[in-house]
Amino acid sequence: MIDFRSDTLTKPTPGMLNAMHNAVVGDDVFGEDPTVNELEKTSASYFGMEAGLFCPSGTMTNQIAIKCHTKPGDEVICDSLSHIYLYEGGGIAVNSLASVKLIKGNNGRLTAPQVHEAVNNTLDIHRPISKLVSLENTANRGGGSCYEFADIQSIREVCLSNNLKLHLDGARLFNALIAKKDNPLEYGKTFDSISICLSKGLGAPIGSVLLGNTEFIKQARRVRKVLGGGMRQAGYIAAGALYALTNHVERLAEDHHHAQLIAAALIEKDFIDSILPVETNIIIFSVKGRYNATELTQLLAKQEILTIAMTPTLVRMVLHLDINPDMVAQTIRAIHSL
């Protein structure tokens, strides 16, 4: 099977498994797991941030960040397609008792004027207090779209002048960095907190890291414990994440190239209505005429190609570490045959 359903489906490579097998471990709740400590330190310095916190999932890193940045009743500003709102089980309400203001952005991206307009007047007692802006880069439901870094800086300005914190859901931040050739240190300077996932296109089996300043991460470590996310000899999984961070970032360019090749084959077909601009490793397209999304997904599955029907008309394909050039060629032949 050639599995394009998600970039979370990757299996550890032999080199990664070897690193995991040989990891030196300790009890991380005691702060004594050297491999977890190394991962946290390496991730933080990658972005020039002070500290990191290893967590089992990107949902947990995002939710901890939201909880640390807000008080009950405060408002979080984000895109209406954002993962923190759509795919984290209502966690903003459950974990932080916070309110949300949704903005309809451009394929998952917000602009500074939109954020400015979304900020509530703090003197109006009817309104929740705007406290946090959360961006997503790349934007999953935006088809893997990336921000221009200058646009993020403009949003930062709005945050600074309105006393708002700025969080980044960077589940696929490495894809954005590779696609835009941006400097990770600039990201570290601009955000109050960043969540990165090692378990997506980077290919680790488990793991996300929350980044921020020392005081923030100290508070985050307490919240992680409350959520049950304090793990013991977590170095075995941190070793896989560290291996991913060290070895699998540059190769993301290959996934982006593969996505372009597949999108170019799709666009020629009469049953394709439109494709969101392919900027990284995600292809989201809508179908028309001969097939609905489920039918197309089933036809491709008969040729051993797995995709996901997101809605009756939308299909998603995601490139990752376990998709090689032969598989891409086979997929393109299958598309031509439809």
Ligand X SMILES: *Cc1c(COP(=O)(O)O)cnc(C)c1O
List interacting residues with ligand X (CB under 6 A).
Answer: 57-59, 62, 83, 136, 140, 169, 171, 197, 199, 208
Residue 141 or residue 221: which is nearer to ligand X going by CB?
141
Could you list the beta-strand ranges (E) of 224-334: 272-275, 282-287, 305-306, 308-309, 314-318
Taking CA atoms, 31 is separated from 45, 139, 330, 336, in Å, by 19, 33, 48, 54
Tokens 């969101």 -> residue: 276
Q: Under 8 Å CB-to-CB from 182, ≥6 apart: which residues?
A: 149, 176
CA distance 48 to 70: 24
Identify which of residues 35 and 59 has a Cβ nearer to ligand X in the complex.
59
Give 129 or 143: the residue with its C-beta nearer to ligand X.
143
Nearest CB to ligand X, comparing residues 107 and 199? 199
Residue 268 C-beta: closest distance to ligand X, Å: 29
In the complex, the smallest distance separating the C-beta of residue 176 from ligand X, rounded to whole angstroms, is 11
Residues 167 and 142 sit within 8 Å (Cβ to Cβ):
no
Q: What is the DSSP letter of 269?
A: S
Of all residues in this chain, which one has the CB nearest to ligand X in the complex? Answer: 58
Nearest approach in angstroms of CB 149 to ligand X is 18
CA 224 from centre of chain: 19
CB 61 to ligand X: min, Å: 8
- Closest CB to ligand X among residues 223, 272: 223
Question: Which stretches of 21-175 are assigned E, i.e. beta strand?
Answer: 51-55, 75-79, 99-103, 130-136, 165-170
Beta carbon nearer to ligand X, 35 or 62: 62
CB-nearer residue toward ligand X: 95 or 119: 95
Q: Other CB atoms closer than 10 Å to residue 281's CB: what's the count?
A: 28
Minimum Å distance from CB 144 to ligand X? 10
The minimum distance between CB 82 and ligand X, in angstroms, equals 7
CB crowding 74-85: b at 16 or more within 10 Å, else e: bbbbbbebbbbb
Minimum Å gap between C-beta 301 and ligand X is 23
